[in-house]
Structures are given as structure tokens and as C-alpha cells.
Structure 1
Amino acid sequence: MTTLTAKRILVGVSGGIAAYKSAELVRLLRAAGAEVRVVMTPAATRFITPLTLQALSGHPVRVELFDAGAEAGMDHIHLARWADAVLVAPASADLLARLAAGRADDLLTTLCLATRAPLLVAPAMNSAMWAHPATRDNVARLAARGVTLIGPAEGEQACGETGPGRLVEPPQLVAAVAGRFRAGLLDGVRALITAGPTREPVDPVRFLTNRSSGKMGYAVAAALAEAGASVTLVSGPVALEVPDRVRCIRVERAAEMAEAVRARLAEIDLFVAAAAVADYRPAETAPHKLKKRAERMALPLVRTPDILAEVAASTRPPFTVGFAAETEDLERHARAKRMLKGVDMLAANRVGAGEGFEVDDNALLVVWEGGQAWLPRAPKPQLARRLVRLIAERYRERREGAPGTPASTGDEKDTA
């Protein structure tokens, strides 16, 4: 599994004959799981067209520093913040000199100054230019500032000379970028998570729902993405921003959530059911608003799909994690629900009296076959990271066929 899954790599291309290799570089980065954006210097467009790199990256290629149509003219700031790493390949002698001098006279050099992401440069130039004292001085200054230099390689050059100055080949450039990232706990894992409540319409005005805010599910989605997973979130109606690097599918009713999960079941390795799905829905939805007439009104209800049990019982089930909200006897209900649903793990929390729903922190009891862990009360993003570490451990055990670990009775420590 690659360490570039869900990573954001900004590729800078400067002017030089080696710019033709940037097309293969972008293709390989995307094949390794990265999302790629490309910024070119004006000179680079003389060697390879922006349209080529746009087609390979799947995003518009930026060239101009002052582009009123891109992020309100602040593209250098937007791109600098977006990137997990910036790779300039090829980096010409001119670009190295401008970076060493701290110049900001085009979009590429400006965002290199503005980014806090790791900056990697792959020089490519004539061997005499590479050996020149001015270039050697510029390279030393950049290295002293923490810039990573990749190459150059030695060999035959376009000018007919032989020596150092060739651009390192794209596969080696991809490996160098990947080496900057610590392998995530769930690198390459395809995860699907449900979150938030569902709404079951009674009439065009009213619906049945619950008190779920979706905060815990959204925090788990973010933690899964941080761990390297490719995350799809199926969300009921909530007032939350979609976490970074998470694809979101919005639904309202339990039946819609079930259908969204079924449609993606064959494509996933891990399923986390954090949504508070309504257990029942009205047998019929009134076409018009129901009027207040009688002192009492009966509302017939029917069961909604049991999404968690359905996923766990599928022909080739993913590693499945359920949630349970309980008001009493937490451990007994958690273990009973895990067995009833047939899931690999179950995270249970108390609700009511300021616990669980509509609050910013939580505590979880996590149970699995042969073990359990108590995750003490903490802000939901912190708690989600602890939970994801437990999920990753159990997921690897099942994938590798390892036996379960002994039960954990102590607090899980947060090292994220």
C-alpha cells in the first residue's frame, strides 16, 4: 500500500527540455493515490502545454500569478495551503537561483515562499551549468533552509554532452516524495462511514428524527482520512462542514442511506456505521400537512432497513464497526448488539443528561471478540483518533489472520 493515498502533491514545472517528463510524473503520482495540482512557469509552457498536464492531473494548470478568476486572485496562498508537499521537477538553474534569492516574481516561486509544506526540487540543466559555482552556492543555500534536492542524475543530455544534470526519472521522484510521509495506519484502505441522523417524513412539514448532531461520525471520518484511508461519508442532515479529503454523499431518509451504502459495498474494505439511523418510519407519508383536529392521533410505523446487520451479513463483508447509544448497562448491551449484528467491533456510549448527543466530547466502550477498551471522555476529534487506532489494529489482525489480542482494561493513550 502506498503512502501517497489521499496526499496532495503540487508539482511545479520550470522551463527546460526535461519538462516533457513532468507528464509521466503526474501520471505516476496519481496512480500512487495522490491528488495532483500543477503550476508552471511561463517558460515551461514553451516545452509542454498546460492542456497536457491538465488532462493528466484532472485539474486546471496554473501559470499566471495574477489570475482574477482563480481564488479571488490569491491562488498562491490557496495552493500553498492546499499542498502536503511541493515538488518542482524539473527545476532549472534559473528557478534554483530565484528560490535561493527568495524571489516571488511568478506563481511558482511565490507559492514556494508561501507554503509550509515540504519543498522538494529536482534539478535539470546542462552539466556545466550544474557545476557552476553560482549554481553550487544556490543549491547549498536551499539545502541549508531545509529544501530537499533530488538528483540530478548523470548521463547523456539533450545538448549532446554527458555528465550530471539529467532529471531523475519519474518513478524515483515519486518514491522520493512518498519517503517524506510516514506510513498511515490505514494507507490504501477504502473506508465508508455513515454519520448523522435520518429524517423520516410524516407529511411535507413534519418528520421523525433523533438528537444526533453527527459530530462523532464526522470526527471519525476525519480521523480515518488522517490515517491514510480513502474515505466516503454518507451523511444524514447535519450542520457540519465535510472534513478535509472526505467525499460526502448527503441523504435524508434511512432508505436513502441504505441504498447509498449498498451501491458502494463491493468497493470498500472498512465500514463504520456511526449514523443514528431511525429504527422506524411512518407507514405512509401524507401528501399534505396533517391538520390538528382530534385529541389523539395514531401514527402507524414500520421498520427501516438495518444497514449495519445487512453489511455484516453480506457475501464478502468488509471489516465492520458499529455504534450503540445506550442509557444503561453499557457493556452488556454493547456485547449483545455486537453479537446480534455480527460485526467485528462495536463502540458504545452513554446518552442523556449531557452525554453523547449534541455535545463536543464523548467517551466510548469499544468491544470486539476477545477484548475491549475503554476510551475515557475527551473531545470528539481526539476520541475519534483513538478509536481509529483501535480499528486499524483489529483490521490488520483480521487481514493478516492473526489471533486477537488480550483485552485492554487501561486507558488508551493519544499519541496523535
Structure 2
Amino acid sequence: MAQPPPRGPGGGLPFQAPPPGQQPTPEQIRHMQMQIASEAQKAGMTVPAYIEKVKAQAMQQHQMRQQMAQQQQQQAQQQGGQPRPQIQQGAQPGQQVPITPGPPKPEATAVANFLRGQDMKVRTCIFQEKRKDMFKVKRAIRALQSDAYVKARKKNALLPEVNDRVTAENTFKLLPLSLLALRVSKIDPHEGHSHGKKKRVKGLWTVKVEPQQEARDDYHYVWLYEGSQWKNKLYAVGALVLILAVVFFPVWPYHLRLGVWYLSMAMLGVLGLFFAMAIFRLILFLLTMFTTPPGLWLFPNLFEDVGFFDSFKPWWAWHEDDKAVKMRKKGERERKKSRREAKEDGKGAAAGKTNGKTNSAKAIEPAAKVEPASQMARPGTASATGTESAPANGQTSVQQRNITPRVEEIEDD
């Protein structure tokens, strides 16, 4: 006897989806929308809330099936039998089934901790309305093939061995398999909206996860692994201690309260001097802007995003407009690029020189073992060193060709 089809949350029949690979017709779409609206009305819910409830129920059923499969697999292992491979529903024989990421492996966590400690020139991005760190694959592969990874592997046995590019990529792929980092691409969050576009912050991407988690050099990955949280916990404990200390300030000893008062007065004095200096530098700039344009700034980096000591370096500088700042930064980038290229050329030349000497030594080795036949045939001929022999019995000496092997440098292209 056939079982009745499952009913929805409202008690009615759920909408019938079209067969796989077939697009629904407009009539089917309207029928499904009407059926969903009627089911939501019966359940006393709005259509979006009803859809979310159906999704939650489907997700709960899927998790229950997974838990049951894991329990069966554990029971099979305890009984000594071989666990049967799990077949995903809907997958045909011979069809490629997507990899389902599992919990973080210890090896993946070790690789993530190592890469988080390396300088991979991360940049900030917006992922699921949160700020995350993003990096390029080529910098991670370069870090895995560096000497620092070899040293770290001697201290941590969980780090996999990396010998070449293939093993480096396989090690890097442990991150997406354990959901520690995922490949993302740039998107426009306001695409398709009718309202005005919000001004995007320069260098701040809004990204989405890509289905294909590959490891090409120009791909970007976003960190989902935040590392150890002991610093955040320590900051939280310190903030709590500070709040308690402020609350119990009236019961402090007299000398401590007097010291805090003097310290607060000193901080107010420093703050007043800072405001006075800011006003003075502004007045100085306005005066010099008209007398000696383009104007003189005292402590030009005072309000820049730099360190405390760097805010007072240099002491003074002439005013720069946006164009001058762009030209200066462009020149700095070109100088850094030229220094980096010169460094790479120097390494390449040193490696080429070493390879050339090795190849030349290998070419000399068989030639040095060959002895000319003329030396063993007649006395009085040239020696093995190629020098002229002395005349014997008054005969005229014969000058022989120099056959000493010569070493030539070999240059790499």
C-alpha cells in the first residue's frame, strides 16, 4: 500500500518541484506561489517566515540523517566490520560528488597558525557584513616553501612536509577543507538596486565565497580562522579589573588618590599643549601660505595614521596637494620595485654563476683524463702540458698545439 506524500507545516501538501534539469513554466511558478501563500495562511505566518520555517525543518532532517549515518558507521567499526561509504542522495553512479568539509584537522590548524604568523600582506574585506583578512594564494605558497616553514616543521610535527609546488598546494588545500580559509571573489553589494550607490572605501572589497576552491596564484582567500583568543581574553580581564578599580576609587588609600590626581592634571596639561600646538601649526601654515606658498607645516604627520614617534617626524615640511602626494607615493613604489628587482637579479646572477662553474667542472672532468697518443708514440714531441720539448740529437724541435683544457664561464639565459 503506497504511503501518502508528506505534508507541510500547515497540514497541506507541499508544492511539487519540476523534474531535475527542466525549467518550471510560468503556470507552475504561479501555482507554487499560490500554494505557498495558502500554506502560510493556514499556519498563521507570513510567506517569508513560512519559507524560513520549511528551510529550518529540512536542515534539521538533513542533520538527523547525517547523525544516524555516523552512528551506524561507528557501530560498524566497533563490531570489526568495514564501514560502508556514504553515498550522497541524488548522486548517480560515476558522478562526481562534491567534497563535504568536516571539522578542522590538527594538521590544518597547525598550517593556519603558521600562515597567520607570516607576513602575507593581508588586506581587509567585507565578508557577510563583517571585516575579515584576505590574502593571495601565491604569498601563502611562498611562505610554505620558505626556510621559516622548515624551521617551524622541526618544532611542530603536525606540519606536513613540503618539497615542491604540488606538496605546497596540497598543504594549502587543508585550509578550505577544514573551513579555515575560503576562496572569495569581489562583488558589488549594490548591484541591481534602484537606490543610489554608496561610496565604496578604496581598497575595501565586498566578497563572496566561490564554489571552486582552487589554489592558483592570483586567487584570493579570506581567513575564517581567527587563531588563539588568549589576547582577547586577557584584554577582557584587564578591562574588567580597570572598571572595578574605578568603581572602588573612593576606598583607595589617600596617597594613591593623591597620585592619581597629580597624574590626571599632568595628562590634562599634555592634552592642552597638544591643542595649543595644533592651533599654532595651523596659524603658521595660514601665514606662510600667503607669504611663501605653498605653505609650511609644523609636524606634517601629526594627524596621520602612523605611530606615536613617527607623528613628530619630520619636524617641518612644505604643503603638498593631492597630485604631489600621488607623485611622491608613485616614486616610492618605483624605488621599492627597482630595489626588489635588483635584489632578484643579484640572486639570479649568483645562482647562474654557481651553475656555470658546476657545469664547467663536469665538462673538464673527462677531458683531463685523456692523454694524447703522440706522447706515447715518439720521444721529443710535446708533453702533456703542451709546452715545447727540448731538441734531441740536434734535430729541430717541432712546436705542438696547446691541448690544455680551458675553463669557460657558462651564462644562463
Q: Bin the TM-score by the shorter chain.
A: under 0.3
TM-score normalised over the length of structure 1: 0.19
Which structure ranks higher in relative contact order (CA pairs < 8 Å, sequence separation ≥ 6)? 1
**Which of the two has greater helix per residue?**
2
**Which of the two has greater strand per residue?**
1
